[in-house]
Amino acid sequence: MLKEIDRIKDLYAGNSSLRARLIVSQVIVIIFLIIFGSISIYLVDELFESSKVISDRVVPLVEKLYDINDKVGKMRRHEMLYSLSSPDTKDVQLKKIKDFETEAFGLIEQLKAINSDSNIISEKHLSDLDKSFKNYSNNIDIVIEVFKYSTITNVESKQVQNSINIFTDLMTILGTCADEAKSASEKKANSSKILYNSNLSLTITVLVIIIIFLGIYSYKTIKNIVGPLKKAVEIISEFSEGNLKKDIPSEKMKEYNQMFTAMEKMSTKLSDAVFKIRQVSDGILSSSGNLQSGSEKLSGFAQEMAASSEQGSSSIEELRTSLENVGSSIGIQSVSMESIDRNIQSMSKAILDIKKSVEVLATQANNASGKASGGEAIISKTESSMDNIKNSSSQITKIIGLISDISSQTNLLALNAAIEAARAGEAGQGFAVVADNISKLAEKTNISVKQIQTLIQSTDQSIKEGYSRVGELSAILRNIIDSINTINSSANSVLGSVGQQAQRATNIADNVKEAAQISKEIDNASHEQKGAIKEVNHTILNISNISNTISHESQGLKTLSYGLKSQSEELKDSVDFFKV
């Protein structure tokens, strides 16, 4: 094992030029891969930083601006509801306005804190947003004082209009801040895109240079390696075609020179072996011819003697077989006659049983026909009842539709009454409560009517399916009645035929008994002749066995000689393939 390892080390150490080329190519590939990987890592890192700036700074600013806009909008909506609500519900609306105001102030402070690190939104715009929201908050307090009472003076009306203008200014400042954040995000995205495109171009350029360099270097390396290998393939192809005279060249590279030297030694060894094999095959071919001639003569004598004995044996065997067949046939015939007799007696009994069963079947068919006719009448009544149910269901559907229309009209009247009560103010509050209750009752009635309609539709569908099934059942019963009548007619016809078959079976049984007695007498005579023939056949078989043994042994010797001759010829042909 240690010797083999040392030999491998020596071979590898000797192939210095080929080994050096492979190592250099691997080092170059690794260097190019490191350069390409570094550029790719730098590109990915820059893109990651750009996306991180957008996600960590710009997105939170936009989210806070959206939340502030949402809170201000809700404050404005509840401010409008406060002006339209009754004195009893004004406190609820006022509390909601203050809650949203507090949340909006907190969101503005959070927006300032987030923007302090990135300065995406200018300090001026943030200051304007803060001032505008405080101004809007103070103005809401003024508007609340205005709408505490039902009458509004001209001065107070101007204050309400001023509140609208302040809200519009606040929305404008919020839009300006959002546009500024959006512009910063677009600038960062554009710079990232420019950086990505430039780095991508650089990466593609480096990759193209790597591919071109590796292509040129690989072509030269493969040319130096493949050239000698092609020569080796040509030499081996000549060897495979039997030409061992092919001249083997030498190479400058030590590893290829070692390979060609080994091929030259192999060619010399093969030439010596082919020459010796050719001499041996000629001697075997001459001996196998003599052995084949002697075995053919011995086989001919044995076959003639075996043929004569086999002819006599076959004649005796045919005679014995014929007698055995006669005896066997007569025995089988005798047994068959007895079996036929028993079967005919059983058949006669079975025919009588069939006659009784057919009579019972005819009686049962008549009874079944009467019951089926009664069932058909019941099904007709069922169809009539289901028609009545179907008509009643249609009338109920019409009534439910009328109730649904009344419910819809009631709901509409309740809605009109609620509107009139709202116009009446405090004087119509009681009437508004009654109208609201009427509207709720109408809605419940409408829901119940829809549920009843659904149930009626389901019931109507079930009635249609039941009506269809009853019709199918009626058709099936009519078919059953027709089948029963057919069975009754067939049973009467079969009953007449069964009586005739019973008489015929009795006559056949008598004839079968006479034939069985004659078959037994013939069987006894055939057994006596078979014993004498068996003794003659035994003597002829002994002679035939001896002849067959001699023929078999000579045939084996002949086969062996043929095989030896064939193998020696094949060996000679194989050796003649090589040119030495």
Q: Residue 319: name the closest of 539, 541, 529 by CA.
A: 529
Torsion of CA 204, 207, 211, 214, to 10 degrees: 160
In three-state secondary structure terms, 89 is: coil
Q: What is the pLDDT along the chain (580 residues), one digit of tens a residue?
A: 445 445 434 444 444 555 666 676 667 768 867 876 776 676 656 655 655 555 666 777 778 888 888 888 888 888 778 777 777 778 888 888 888 888 888 888 888 887 777 677 878 888 888 888 888 888 887 777 777 665 455 545 566 677 778 888 888 888 888 788 777 777 766 776 776 677 667 777 877 887 787 777 667 766 666 666 666 667 777 666 666 666 666 665 555 566 667 666 666 766 666 666 666 666 666 656 665 665 566 566 556 656 665 665 665 566 567 556 645 655 665 665 566 566 656 666 765 666 676 566 667 667 766 766 666 666 677 667 667 766 766 776 776 676 667 767 776 766 776 777 677 766 666 656 766 777 776 677 777 767 776 776 776 676 677 667 666 766 776 676 676 667 667 656 656 665 665 566 566 556 656 655 655 665 665 566 556 556 656 655 665 676 567 566 656 656 766 676 676 666 667 656 666 6
Strand, helix or coil at 443?
Answer: helix
Phi, psi of 215 (to 5 degrees): -65, -45
Q: Do 304 and 210 share a structural domain?
A: no
154-240 vs 123-146: helix axis angle to the nearest 10? 140
Give the predicted TM-score (pTM) of the model.
Answer: 0.31
- Residue 139, pLDDT score: 81
The structural domain count of the chain equals 2
pLDDT of residue 227: 65
Let me know if residue 256 belongs to a domain.
Answer: no
With H, G, I as helix, E, B as strand and everything else as coil, classify residue 270.
helix
Report the residue count for the chain.
580
Contact 125, 177 (CB under 8 A): yes
| Sign of the alpha-carbon torsion through 455, 458, 463, 466 | negative
Does some domain include residue 244? Answer: no
- Whether residue 444 is found in the same domain as residue 365: yes
133 and 25 in a single domain? The answer is: yes
Residue 209 lies in a domain: yes
| pLDDT value of residue 393 | 64
Q: Which residues are CB-contacts of 79 (< 8 A; sequence separation ≥ 6)?
A: 97, 140, 143, 144, 163
Does residue 247 sit within a domain?
no
- Burial label for 361, CB within 10 Å (0-12, 13-18, 19+), is middle
Q: Are residues 440 and 569 in the same domain?
A: yes
* Domain closes at, from 220, 236, 252: 236
Q: How far is CA 524 from CA 331, 505, 520, 536, in A?
A: 10, 30, 7, 21
Partners of 243 in the beta sheet? 579
Is the Cα dihedral 320, 321, 326, 329 positive or negative? positive
> Which residues, 6 or more positions from 352, have their beta carbon under 8 angstroms from its beta carbon?
502
Amino acid at 308: S
What's the confidence (pLDDT) of residue 50?
58
Whichever domain contains 182, its CATH number is 1.20.1330
Same domain, 294 and 186: no
Beta strands per DSSP E along 490-556: none
* Residues 479 and 351 grouped into a single domain: yes
Residue 252 within a domain: no
Task: Quote the domain boundaries for residue 505.
Answer: 267-576
Residues 6+ apart with CB under 8 A from 240: none
Are residues 214 and 296 both part of a single domain?
no
Residue 217 burial (CB count, 10 A): 15
CATH of the domain at 518: 1.10.287.950
Whether residue 531 is contained in a domain is answered as yes
Distance CA 309, CA 538 (A): 12
Ramachandran category for residue 253: left, alpha or beta (phi over 0 → left; psi -120 to 50 → alpha): beta
Token pair recorded at residue 391: 């008509």
The predicted structure's pLDDT at residue 119: 74
Max Cα distance, the chain (Å): 155
| Sign of the CA dihedral with 49 first, then 53, 56, and 62 last | negative
Question: Are 219 and 341 in a shared domain?
Answer: no
Structure tokens at 567: 């193998």
Inside any domain, residue 7: no
User: Which of 213, 236, 259 finishes a domain?
Assistant: 236
- Cα angle value 122/102/93 (rounded, 5°): 130
In the block, residue with structure tokens 């709202």: 422
Kindly state whether residues 228 and 272 are assigned to the same domain.
no
Phi, psi of 323 (to 5 degrees): -65, -40
195 plus 317 within the same structural domain: no
Answer yes or no: do 274 and 210 share one domain: no
Residue 4 lies in a domain: no
Query: In the prediction, which pLDDT does 428 show?
Result: 63
Residue 230 and residue 274 in one domain: no
> Could you identify the residue written with the tokens 């600038």?
187
**CB count in 10 Å sphere of residue 183:** 11
Nearest-angstrom CA–CA distance, 405 and 419: 21
Provide φ and ψ at 243, rounded to 5°: -90, 100
